[in-house]
Structures are given as C-alpha cells and as structure tokens.
C-alpha cells in the first residue's frame, strides 16, 4: 500500500555512514581489549567515502559501542574531535554515568550521545524502556535471594530514562533515537517520531547468536519506516545494520557477522505521516473493524445453525 501511494518530493537530504564493528560478546566488556574496540570504530568511521558517495555528515555507532565511560576517558572525546571533520556529527550508543566516577550513588543509563566536530557531547537520550532481566532486575531483592540474576551479560544494571526527544543533526533535520527493542513498538515510535524527519535505531543483536532473532528484529524496525513514512537509520553491533527509505525499501544493509560501514545519501521529504492522535484514532478504528468482523461471523454462524 505504501509503495502504491505517490511519494512526496524530497525537500532535504543527509549523507550518513552506518558503522557495524561486529564485536564478539565475549570481548564486549573485556578491559584488555577496550582500546582495540575503540580503534576499530574510529578506523571504520574515518575511512574515505565509498566511490560515488559524499563525505558523511552524520556517523552512527551501535548500542553501547564505546567500551568505557567517557567520564573516565576524556582523551577519547579529544580523539573523536580530531577524527570528525567540520560540520560532521557522531551519534553513538554509550553507557552514561550520573553521580560521578563510580561512586556508590552513581546511576548508569543505556544512552545515545551526539558528539560534534569539537569532540563535545551536545545531546544525550537515555533508553526509556529497559529489558527486564537483561538491563535491570525487577524485584531485585526478592530474586537475588533465590540466586536469580540478569539473563544477559552486561556491564551493570541500568536506570530508565524519563523521556525521549529528537536530536538535531546536520541540514536542520531531527532524528529520534530508539535503543534496541524500543523500536518494535508501533505506538511508541509513532508518538516520538511525529516531530522528526528520521528514525534512528541503535542495537546490539550479537547476543541473539545464530537464530532468527537479528532478522526478526530488523524486519520489525523496517516496518516502523513504512508506518511513519520517514527513513530509518539502523546501526547494530552485529547485524543487521541498514538504511531504509521512507517507503520501507532497503537502500543498503550489512549482513550478520559483517564488519564495515554503509555510506548512503538519504533524501528526506518531511516529518512522520501520522501524528500520535491520528495513530490512536486509527488503532480504535482497527479494533472496531475487528469487532464488526467478529460480530458478522457470529451472526452468519447462527444463521447456518438455524
């Protein structure tokens, strides 16, 4: 249906680079290889554009891509400022700390940060919907008594963010970020994408292993572009990173286990097609249609019996 509807003309565009480092989960939080992981991310980001592509204005790194806290490594921000050219921006998935340098009262967030060409963090958005037993332990006191902990290995328990907001990116565009499985919820994405021209999804699907998981997760993210009529930029630590246009078509993608980057020129025609209120109305209409269909089938069945 979306492909059959004429697309509005593009009014703006942005050149992007999606980085997929394909870091093995056994090394993800190994302190001895942190510098190597960071160097891999930097090397992929700094390479010359592929033939026929312009220098990227926006570079996207996946969820928890930086294997340390920026508060402990200010030299990393300096290196990023040196790597980024004039006008370039990096959006990176990081662990963000509040409370100061590992103090007992510190809170940690699964976040994305926007870093400008001076190596300054100019914006941050925390993950609002955390994965129970993966990123936090619900009823921790009770479960820990029975020896139940997190089911997915991670650096620490995360605190949930309060709200999501769009990030201002080059060319006067706004990108709304969703971290990991946040992107699978249609209404959640519709509400926050209503004021944006781009959907960004950063994730780390390596823990799925060799299962349908990475493919299902990507397809669900792809449908968010179809529903909202805006492009999707997706960076995964390990499959499937992709650029999806506003019609839901895959512009380019990296396979599971691939290490590298996608360079793409992304036309933008406007903001999301439906507002949050319109989405709620559509949801109500769909429920009414299902109820009407159920009633019709019930009546037909009764008539057959009689």
Domain count, the chain: 2
For residues 280 and 154, state if they share a domain. no
For residues 88 and 99, state if they share a domain. yes
Per-residue pLDDT tens digits for 164-204: 999 999 999 999 999 999 999 998 899 889 889 999 999 99
For residues 146 and 287, state if they share a domain. no
Active site residue 127: yes
User: 91, 62 in Cβ contact below 8 A?
Assistant: no
For residues 303 and 241, state if they share a domain. no
pLDDT given at position 197: 95
| Residue 149, domain CATH | 3.60.110.10
- φ/ψ region of 119 (left if φ > 0, alpha if ψ in -120 to 50, else beta) reads left
227 domain-assigned: yes
For residues 198 and 171, state if they share a domain. yes
For residues 86 and 183, state if they share a domain. yes
Q: How far apart are CA 245 and CA 71, in angstroms?
A: 36
pLDDT given at position 121: 97
66 domain-assigned: yes
The region of weakest confidence among 19-28, 134-143, 229-238, 293-302 is 134-143
The region of weakest confidence among 73-77, 284-288, 291-295 is 284-288
For residues 112 and 183, state if they share a domain. yes
Which residue from 222, 225, 90 is spatially nearest to 169, judged by alpha carbons?
90
Burial of 42 (0-12, 13-18, 19+ CB in 10 A): middle
Q: What percent of the chain has pLDDT over 90?
A: 59
Q: Which of 28, 127, 135, 227 is catalytic?
A: 127
Which 8-state DSSP code applies to residue 194? T
Give the confidence band of 7 by pLDDT, cuts at 50, 70, 90: confident
299 domain-assigned: yes
For residues 52 and 174, state if they share a domain. yes
Burial of 170 (0-12, 13-18, 19+ CB in 10 A): middle
Active site residue 120: no
pLDDT given at position 240: 95
For residues 193 and 101, state if they share a domain. yes
For residues 167 and 284, state if they share a domain. no
Residue 100 has pLDDT above 90, yes or no: no
Of the two residues 111 and 239, the one the predictor is more confident about is: 111
Task: Calculate mean pLDDT across residues 243-259.
Answer: 95
For residues 87 and 171, state if they share a domain. yes
Active site residue 227: no
Specify the residue for token string 């508060």.
71
Q: Which of 28, 63, 197, 227 is catalytic?
A: 63
Residue 140 has pLDDT above 80, yes or no: no
User: 123, 167 in Cβ contact below 8 A?
Assistant: yes
User: 231, 211 in Cβ contact below 8 A?
Assistant: no
4 domain-assigned: no
Residue 259 has pLDDT above 80, yes or no: yes
Q: Which of 97, 135, 180, 182 is catalytic?
A: 180
Tokens coding 217: 């997760």
Per-residue pLDDT tens digits for 69-83: 999 999 999 999 999
CA angle 31/62/80 to nearest 5° reads 70
268 domain-assigned: yes
Task: Calculate mean pLDDT across residues 236-259.
Answer: 95
3-state secondary structure of 223: helix
User: 124, 212 in Cβ contact below 8 A?
Assistant: no
Tokens coding 142: 């009770």
Average pLDDT, the chain: 87
Give the domain range for residue 226: 12-274
284 domain-assigned: yes
253 domain-assigned: yes
For residues 305 and 223, state if they share a domain. no
Give the confidence band of 306 by pLDDT, cuts at 50, 70, 90: low
2 domain-assigned: no
């Amino acid at each position: 249906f979306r492909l059959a509807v004429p697309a509005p003309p593009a009014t703006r565009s942005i050149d992007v680079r999606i980085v997929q480092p394909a870091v093995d989960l056994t090394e993800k939080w190994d302190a001895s290889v942190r510098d190597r992981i960071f160097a891999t991310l930097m090397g992929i980001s700094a390479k010359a554009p592929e033939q026929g592509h312009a220098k990227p204005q926006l570079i996207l790194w996946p969820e928890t891509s930086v294997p340390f806290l920026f508060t402990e490594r200010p030299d990393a921000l300096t290196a990023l400022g040196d790597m980024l050219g004039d006008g370039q921006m990096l959006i990176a998935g990081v662990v963000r700390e509040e409370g100061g340098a590992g103090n007992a009262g510190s809170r940690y967030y699964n976040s994305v940060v926007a870093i400008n060409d001076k190596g300054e963090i100019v914006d941050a958005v925390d993950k609002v919907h955390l994965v129970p037993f993966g990123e936090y332990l619900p009823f921790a006191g009770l479960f820990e008594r029975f020896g139940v902990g997190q089911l997915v290995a991670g650096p620490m328990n995360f605190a949930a963010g309060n709200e999501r907001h769009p990030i201002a990116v080059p060319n006067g565009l706004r990108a709304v970020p969703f971290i990991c499985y946040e992107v699978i919820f249609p209404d959640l994405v519709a509400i926050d994408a209503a004021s944006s021209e781009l959907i960004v999804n950063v994730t780390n699907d390596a823990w799925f292993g060799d299962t349908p998981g990475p493919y299902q997760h990507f397809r669900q993210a792809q449908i968010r572009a179809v529903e909202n009529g805006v492009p999707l930029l997706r960076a995964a630590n390990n499959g499937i990173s992709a650029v999806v246009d506003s019609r839901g078509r895959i512009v380019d993608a990296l396979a599971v286990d691939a290490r590298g980057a996608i360079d793409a020129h992304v036309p933008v025609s406007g903001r999301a097609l439906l507002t949050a209120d319109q989405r709620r109305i559509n949801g109500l209409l769909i429920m009414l249609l299902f109820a009407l269909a159920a009633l019709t089938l019930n009546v037909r069945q009764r008539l057959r019996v009689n």
